[in-house]
Structures are given as structure tokens and as C-alpha cells.
Chains A and B, each alone.
Chain A
Amino acid sequence: MSPVSERRASRPYTVEFLRRWSRRPAITLGSIILLLFTVAALLSPLLSPYDPYQIPEGLAAVSLLSPRPGHWFGTDLLGRDLLSRILSGARVSLLVGVVVELVVTPIGVAIGLFAGYFGGRIDSVLMRITDAVMAFPGLVLAIALTAVLERSGLLSVIVVLAAVRWTTVARIVRGQVLSLREAEYITAISALGAGKGRIIFRHLLPNCLAVILVAMSFGVASNILSEAGLSFLGLGVQPPTVSWGSLLAEGIVYLTVKPWLCIFPGLAITCAVLGFHVLGDGLRDILDPRLRS
């Protein structure tokens, strides 16, 4: 196939993609939610009304204030503005969610591609390892891993989650490659003398991009939830670093008396995760070839 005809074939697809995108209000909604969160996280030093870490003077007067003008989400025990802390936590929570996904996707894709394409012994060894890792409930293995690492912190959270989360992508890509491997165009290309590398990277990988994209969207959502869980248990980021999960860990002590300390950080997690789920659902609808008439 010459490059020219390839390019021509791909253009209507992009147009089709955008047309489908514009017809789905859900996916637009998901994108808007995520855009708002990203902007809030990136600009949090500018947007925060107060310093999220600094303990203010005259502590007694500002400790554990209920939500009010000036402190829209209230303040914590040390008088720090909760809105500012949630904005600061957004950076950590979103960062972990996205970075972990960027680390595990290439690993999972590589494993899935090789297992699916070469099959045989390579496939069974790789898949047995995947099965063994997947046999542990994800967060349980992550918790066990934090016991092994010397210290917990931002880096260890990323390492621990990456060690657990690569399996999903590997499985999905392998499944896709298995079904594509027998397709006629692959047989045709290899009959024309294309090498393994060319088949894998020029023909199989691009055809997996749709499922990878969808998996990444759900993956980030899952990472954000896992990070929140680890930090909530005290096994994630450590003070003074703030994430939504650690804010909830601080807040649960006051659950019955100062509920806003728990309500707002949890709402932030739910909205962000919801955004990625809606986006993932929408992408799947757009990209699923079975739905393309």
C-alpha cells in the first residue's frame, strides 16, 4: 500500500470521528468536566483563595469553620481553607491518575502485542504471569506492595499502582491482536513479504489504538480511585503533600460533627472519575466498529 492511498483512506475516518463526537452530548460533557479539573489543577496556585499548607495566625478563630462566604468549603482543624486544599489535592490526584496510565500503557501494549502475535510459549508464559497478578484484588496487592517499599510517598504510589495496573491493557490488546492476526489483510501483507516488525507496528498496533484509548480513559479513573484509597488508608502520599484521599483521611475523624470536611473532597473524586467514565463510554461508542454502520 503506498503512503498516498493510506493517507487518503484515513481522512474520512477522522472526519467521521469528529462527526460522531459532535453527536454525543455525553462525551462533550465528559470532556468539559475533565477540562475544568485540568485547568483547576494546573492553575491551583492562582485560583486558591488561601495558602493550602500555611497555618494561619489567630488559629482559634478560623479552626473548623463551617462553609461560609470567604471559606466556601469551610476550614480544617489547622484553619486551612478546604477549597484551597482540594485544588492543591487535584494536582496530585490527577497527576497520579495520568502518570500511572502513561507508564502502564506502553508496558501493557508491548506485552499484549507480543503475546498475541507470537502465541505459543511466549503467550502462555506472559499470560500466566498476567493471570497471577490479576488473581489478587488490585488494591490488595498494591497495599501489600507498600508494605515492601521502605517509605510511602508520591513516587511509591505511582510505582505500586503501575506494578498492579498493567494487566488490564495487556489483556485487552492481546485479545484484539488475536482476532486481528487471522484477518485476511494480515495474511496478505505477510504473503507480500512484510517483516514481523512491520506487521506488528504498522498494521496491528494502529488497529489496537481505539481499544487502547478507551482502556486508558477507564484506567485513569481507576487510578484516581486507587490513589484515593491508598492515601485514605495512610499508605499513599504523606503530609504535607495533599491528595483528595488524604483529605478524606483527615476528615473522617470529624465525620459526625464537621461533615463538610468529608463531603467536598469526596465530591471532587466522584466528579473527576465520572468525567473519565463518561469520556470512556463515549469513546467506546464512537470507536467500536460494530456500531459503525
Chain B
Amino acid sequence: MSRYLAGRIGQAIPVLFGVTLITFLLTHIALGDPVRAMMGQRADPEVMARIRTEYGLDKPVWDRYTLYMAKVLVGDLGYSYRQDRPVTDVVAERLPATVRLAVAAMLVAMVLGLAAGTIAAMRHNTLWDLCMMILSLLGISTPVFWLGMMLILFFAVWLGWFPISGYGDGAFRHLVLPALTLGALQAGYIARMTRSALLEVLRQEYIRTARAKGLREGVVILKHGLRNGILPVLTLAGIGLGDLLVGAPLTETVFGWPGLGRLLVAAVGNRDLPVVMGATLLFALIYLGANLLVDLGYALVDPRVRLLKR
């Protein structure tokens, strides 16, 4: 296990290197001049030159990358042009809200997706199956932000069950609609995967054996079927976390959620590049970290993975 662990972490290192290289290059090939953007058109050239030196913007690209990496490794993501404080502080402040939303959305996606997929597979080729598959197709075809608006309209404006937007100091009521919005897309994917994985498993002989020995259908499906069918679904769900994070900037904008995504969008508007790249890098780190966890969990549950990849 420890060798698998080391190998898997070893794989992540070149990707991490590539990720920082991309954020660095993006910051430094920026066509817009951040100093001019910050100071305005009539800025004093001398002051601008001094700021460039201060931020290290006058050095050659390679030197700046080495400097950048050295800083990133100790958690220094630079200084926000707009907020005049370290990017690490700005980003860290927004991280909990996004993590909270993402975890809640993933739960929504797993519960709804597994349930819909199982129902569809159990009632294969019936009206139930069709309804579940149409629902999941709608889930993956609806733009997240529009789904958010429609949920606001229905559950907040017309029914008044939930608040329209805002973080509400972390109250559960405020979390429900954003989590549903962000989770719907993944729920659709998970439902489709669960259905096909389960249909595959249900064709196996041990399922016939289980039925033949008189087990109830529910036990056959849940204990023998889903347990074997769920592993590939779980891995794909881990990869799907990346897709889930895609929706974060949009969902957070619709619901006025004070997370990383909204920070990113606002920073793009302000041309606050250090914050843009800091938030982008953090998104990538969350994604890589989640995938690593899923892979490790998978290896823990299924010994075949460890043997195969050695």
C-alpha cells in the first residue's frame, strides 16, 4: 500500500509543476499592464517604474518563475493589487465557503444520482426508467446558473421556503438551493453511470444465484448489485468533482455566495492578476487533492487496484 501511495503522489508532482507553470505564464504574458491598470492612464512613469521593481515585474521571465515557485512553495501567492494585502489571506478567507458548498453539492449529487440510477436499473425498460433518464439528461443539459435562477424563482420567490441569496452566516437554509444547483449536473452524470454499472452487474451469474436462493429483490440489488457496481461510479464521481467546481463561479455569482469562484470573477473584473492566479491555482489544488483522495480510498477498498498498478 505504501508503495502505491508513494507512486500515486509521485505522479501528482509533475502535474503540480505544470499547473504552477500555467498560472505563472498567464500572469506574465498578460497583455494588459497591471501597473497601468492599477495607477490609471495619467500615472507618473517614475512611480510606475518603482512599483514594477517592487513587485519584481522588471526581471527576466525565467528569474521571475524561479522566484514565483520559491514563494508558492512556502504559501506566498503574492500581493493583491487592489486589496493591498497578501493573496494568501484574501484566498484563505474565501476558501471555507466554497469547500462547504462543494461538499454539500457532492452529497446532493451522490444521493440523488445513486437513487435515480438504482431506480432506473431496477425498473429497467419501464416508465420509471424513462423518467429517471429524462431527468438526468435534463440535469446535465441545464446551465447551472439558470437552474439556480429557476430554483430561486420557484422555492424562494413563489413558495418562500428558502432565502433568495446570501451566505446567512452559514445557516443551513442558505445552503440548500446553492447545493442543489451545483449538485444537479453531477447527479445527472452519476445517475447515468450508476444505471449502466448496475445493469452490467445484474447480468452476472452471482446475481442469478442470489435470486435463485430466494433473497428478496431489494437485498439482491442493494447488497449484491450496488456494492459491486458502485466502485467505478465512485472513481468517476471523484473525477467529476472537477466538473462540479466548474460550476462554482457561476453558482456563487447567482446566489451571492462569498466563495472562491465569486472572488475569481471579481478579480478578473478588477484586473487583480495575483488574486486571479491565486484563486485559479487553489481550484486546481482542490481538484488534484480530491482526485488523490478518491484514488487512495479506491485502493483501500479494492485490493485489485493496488496489485494492478504496481
Contact = CB atoms under 8 A, between A and B. Distances in A.
Contact of B146 (A131, A149, A269): A269
Interface stretch (A79-87, A108-116, A230-238): A230-238
B221 interface: no
B207 interface: no
Given A147-B268, A148-B29, A277-B137, A136 B250 contact: no
B118 to A, nearest CB: 20
Contacts of A128: 14-15, 18
Interface string B265-295: 1011101010011011001100110000000
Nearest to A221: B141
A194 B284 CA distance: 43
A143 interface: yes
Given A136-B283, A140-B264, A148-B31, A225 B143 contact: yes
Given A131-B15, A135-B15, A252 B254 contact: yes
A235 B283 CA distance: 19
B138 interface: yes
A226 to B, nearest CB: 8
Interface string B80-123: 00000000000000000000000000000000000000000000
Given A132-B22, A248-B146, A140 B283 contact: yes
A35 B60 CA distance: 53
Contacts of B242: 134-135, 137-138
A140 B146 contact: no
A233 B249 contact: yes
Nearest to A141: B280
Nearest to A248: B146
A135, A139, A146, A277 — most chain B CB neighbours (10 Å): A135
Interface range for A: 35 or more
B191 interface: no
A161 interface: no
Contact of A137 (B138, B245, B269): B245
Interface string A28-47: 00000000000000000000
Given A228-B143, A233-B250, A278 B149 contact: no
Q: Chain A interface secondary structure, helix, strand, loop or mixed?
A: helix
B246 A137 contact: yes
B32 interface: yes
B72 to A, nearest CB: 15
A219 B247 CA distance: 17
A221 to B, nearest CB: 7
Interface in B228-267: 242-243, 245-250, 253-254, 261, 264-265, 267
Interface string A260-293: 0011011001100110011000000000000000
B18 A143 contact: no
A135 B284 contact: yes
A132 B18 contact: yes
A136 B137 contact: no
Contact of A147 (B146, B153, B276): B276
Interface in B1-59: 14-15, 17-19, 21-23, 26-27, 29-32
Contacts of A233: 249-250, 253, 265
B245 A270 contact: no
B138 A150 contact: no
A259 B271 CA distance: 32
B131 interface: no
B95 to A, nearest CB: 14
A145 interface: yes
Contacts of B254: 252
Contacts of B27: 148
Given A147-B273, A252-B149, A135 B268 contact: no
A150 B265 contact: no
Given A233-B265, A266-B146, A144 B15 contact: no
Contacts of B301: none
B150 interface: yes
A89 interface: no
A228 B242 CA distance: 19
Interface string A10-34: 0000000000000000000000000
Nearest to B30: A148
Interface of A: 128-129, 131-141, 143-150, 221, 225, 228-229, 232-235, 245, 248, 252, 255-256, 259, 262-263, 265-266, 269-270, 273-274, 277-278
Interface of B: 14-15, 17-19, 21-23, 26-27, 29-32, 137-138, 140-146, 149-150, 152-153, 157, 164, 242-243, 245-250, 253-254, 261, 264-265, 267-269, 271, 273, 276-277, 279-280, 283-284, 287-288
20 contacts: A128-B18, A129-B18, A135-B18, A135-B287, A140-B261, A140-B264, A140-B280, A144-B26, A147-B271, A148-B30, A221-B141, A229-B249, A235-B265, A245-B143, A248-B146, A252-B254, A256-B152, A262-B149, A270-B141, A273-B143
